[in-house]
Each structure stands twice: as C-alpha cells, then as structure tokens.
Structure 1
Amino acid sequence: MSGFDTFEKLGDGCEICVTEEHTFGTDAFLLADFARARHKDIVCDLGTGCGIIAVLEKLRYAPKKVYGIDIQEQAIQQFKVTVERSSLEDVYPLHMDLRSLTKEAPLDICDLVTCNPPYKAYKAGIESELDAHKIARHEILCNINDVCAAAKRLLKFGGRLCICNRPERLADVIAAMRSNGIEPKNLRFVSKSPDSAPWLFLIEGRKGGGAFMKVMPQLYISGTGGVSPELAAIYGHYSENSVKGE
C-alpha cells in the first residue's frame, strides 16, 4: 500500500525502508555510535532521511522518545513505513522544515540532537543528478548554521548536538555551533587507515557549555583483512545486512 518494497534488515527484527533517493551508509552508523543516546533521553534527528540514525539510536540505546525531522515528504513516508513495519514505539517521523520548526517539534526538551547534514556548500563540487541526493549532499535547502539554529531551539540547557561532516567543513561547523550557543566539547576524526588523511569528523557540542574541547583518538575504518575491530564492533550490534560502504 505504501509503494515501497525494498528493506534492509538491521537488528531485533527491524527492517528499514530504503529507496534510490533515501538510503544510508557508514557515516550513519558512526554518528549513532558517537552520539550514544541514554535511556532517559529525548532525541531528535535533523534531516533524518529514511530515519536510519533515529532507528539505530532506538535499537541500540532505547532512548525515551526519538523524533526524526525531514523536509522531503518521501523520506518521511519511508520512515513511517519503517516505524509501522518494525513496530517501533515512541519513534515519531515529522515532515517539516528545520528552518521553521512548528510546535509539533520537541522544542526546548531534547537531551540529544543528531544531524548528518549536507556536506557540501551550495554549488561546491559536482552536484548529484537526483534532486533528493542534491538536497542531502549540498546546502540547497539548509546550511550548517540552519542546523545549529534548529538544534538550539530543540535542546534544553546542557543538551548535546552531535554532527558528522567532512574535514574541510570543520571551521564552518565550529563557528556555527558557537554562534548558536553550542560549545564544541568532543571531536573525533575518521580515516580509512592510519596512513590516510581523515575523510570524516564527528563532533559533539553542548548547549550552554564552557569552552573546552577534547580531541579523541582517531577511528579507523579498515583493518587486517577487512574492517577495523572498532568498526566491526559498531556493526556487530546489527545484522550483517546493514553493513554498507561509505
């Protein structure tokens, strides 16, 4: 009835609805692991797409409530199919623009906000052909400051914002966090191997936090004969079918 018939198996009998327009990759698993919601947390994932990060947080950490916000209607419809098919409780897909959050959003009550934002600035680099991919990868409908401004509205004092992005955007992300009263507290770079430059970073900021940032040990994707032990452990919380390339 939904028109969607492709699903990826995760853990605990969960199947997430995916399409060519809205799917997921390694960075979603890395961000969910980095964010590590607590059982009592109210969580909101911005630009949630098919809902992968929200679902991963729910499956592994069982937070109190999980919201996922996206401006693209198809993405939210896929997320709703996943919630219904997998019988996920206290998971709420919301179709709205993060730049103009309505009262339906969990304003001022979130303990954790996550976002895997568009990595590329508007008109930077080669744009994807599919409109959905352009929106997901380029700052067409929102930029990093919009993301941090939305997080500021969602988070309660002391709440955390966790973001992943490309290393060339690090200065932009830190500046956007600070301009919205969110102080960067933890930073971790991700490389394919010890002899390669980072291709991703993970950063956590705290609303109203003091000025001090810890740089964590680097995370490596590749290891002897395949993925690194740490990445294998991250994937190990879910089925083998959920392992994706970046």
Structure 2
Amino acid sequence: MKAEPIGNGITVYTSEEHRFGTDAFLLTNFSRYKEKDIAVEFGTGCGIIPLLMQKHRPPKLIYALDIQENAIAQLKQGITASQAENIIPICADLRELWENAPSHGVDLVLCNPPYQPTGSGFEASNDSQRIARHGIFCTPSDVCQSAEKLLKFAGRLCICGRPERLPDYICSMRENGIEPKRLQFVSKNAKDRPWLFLLEGRKGGNAFLQMEKPFIMYENGKLTPEADALYTNGKDGK
C-alpha cells in the first residue's frame, strides 16, 4: 500500500487493486457539488473521489460505498490520515440499501463504474481487479435503480464511462425516473475521438439535455488550462 498526498493535507492510500486515474478528477469536477450537499459515491475504491471533494470544499456528508472490504480498509486509512470526519465508509452492495441509509434524502450520487460489461474483454484473475473493471455487481441498471432510491426529488446522479456505454446509461436513467440533463465528452487532444463521457441526470427532471463544450486534456503536448486546473484547484473556472 502506498500513501499519496494530493494537497491540502489530504492523503489517498492506493494499492494494485484500488488505484485512481484522471477520470476521478474529471467526475469530481463535473459534479459541481455544493458544500450543503449530502452525497453518496458508489464503488469508491481507494476513496479518491470523496477525498478530492474533501480537499477543495467539503460537502456536508459523503457516504463512500464499496462491496470490497479491502477497498474500504484503504479508504479508512485515507480518512484517518486526512482527518476527513464527514466521509462515512460503507462496506455494502450498492444494489441493497444499507442500514440507516438516507432513503430519498441524498442530493448527489456519483459513480465511476466498471467500464467493461461482464463477459467482455480480458478478465483479471484477481477478484478485486475483476470486480473493479467489470460490471459484476455494478451494471447501469444497478446504478440507476439504487440512485433513485437514495436521491431526493431533483437530486442528481453523475457518472462517467466509455462512450460506447452511453446509451445503456441514458436508457437506465430514464427507466428509473432520472432524466439526463447534462453531457460532456472528454478527449486527449482536439483531433481525437472522445475516450470518456460525463453524464448528469436529475431525478424528476424535464426532458432537456444540455451538451457541454468538449473537455480537451492536451494541446501542443501540454495540459490545457482546464485540465491543469483539475490537479490544482479542482475547478473548471465556471
């Protein structure tokens, strides 16, 4: 296990099974969370997203959920090292409401789900890595059904994923009364095809999808100002 300081006194503990990448920074930024929010993250892994939220302007409360005990153990180390008392680690299956879950009382649900459907691509022999990379316990339907149970009216679900999975998430959101409201694609360079989507849905929202300006990571071999801000102040300038 490795301790990785990310600034402002916040430390994330990573391992071979539970690490983080750029997508966590992108999703945290895209979510536009507020300090008064009660938030839940599905599949927290090492806890990078709640710890990033803690770094910049902490929400009122963050429930960080993962089905894997080793992931929650890592997160607990990060919580202790960072003195992040408003992060509540929960070892549970997202498909079932845990004891004392804030049913219909949550402002924001975030999820950086496994990018591969079960049975597709190469599946790692390591159980932890297989669960993290393939939708064994975390399908689009699982995410949206569980989010609907937790979100208050007008609460938001923010997710990221590979562009080829976007139709699955749009359909699952609508099937569960969560209307897709905001969509942004992320590309490495301006000429490249997107490698990631960021999607926000609102529970009980009216049908209207706002397309955000594409997020470009690099220009002339250097991080764009927007991408650089992900790793500094975590804001997109809006």
Indicate whether the TM-score tops 0.5.
Answer: yes
Match of 1:199 in 2: 195
Match of 1:241 in 2: none
Aligned length: 234
Cα shift at 1:61 = 2.4
Match of 1:244 in 2: none
Q: Distance in 2 between matches of 1:193 and 1:128?
A: 30
1:60 lines up with 2:63 in the alignment = no
Q: Unaligned regions of 5+ residues in structure 1, if any? A: 239-246
Cα shift at 1:104 = 3.0
Cα shift at 1:224 = 2.4
Match of 2:39 in 1: 43
User: After TM superposition, which residue ranges in structure 1, 4 or more long, deviate above 4 angstroms?
Assistant: none
Counterpart of 1:17 (choices 13, 18, 24) is 13
Match of 2:87 in 1: 91
Q: Report SS of the residue matched to 1:17.
A: strand
What percentage of residue pairs aligned between the two structures are identical? 50
Q: Distance in 2 between matches of 1:121 and 1:132?
A: 16
Match of 2:176 in 1: 180
Counterpart of 2:225 (choices 204, 223, 229) is 229
**TM-score, normalized by length of structure 2?**
0.95
Q: Unaligned regions of 5+ residues in structure 2, if any? A: none
Counterpart of 1:142 (choices 138, 143, 150) is 138
Cα shift at 1:14 = 1.0
Cα shift at 1:131 = 1.7
Q: Report SS of the residue matched to 1:122.
A: coil
Cα shift at 1:150 = 0.9
Q: Does the CA contact (< 8 Å) of 1:120 and 1:137 recur in 2?
A: yes
1:168 lines up with 2:164 in the alignment = yes
Q: Report SS of the residue matched to 1:98.
A: coil
Cα shift at 1:138 = 0.7
1:113 lines up with 2:109 in the alignment = yes
Deviations 1:163-206 (A, max 9, x none): 00000001000001011110000000000111110000000000
**TM-score, normalized by length of structure 1?**
0.92
Counterpart of 1:74 (choices 70, 74, 79) is 70
| Matched residue type, 2:163 | P
Q: Report SS of the residue matched to 1:107.
A: coil
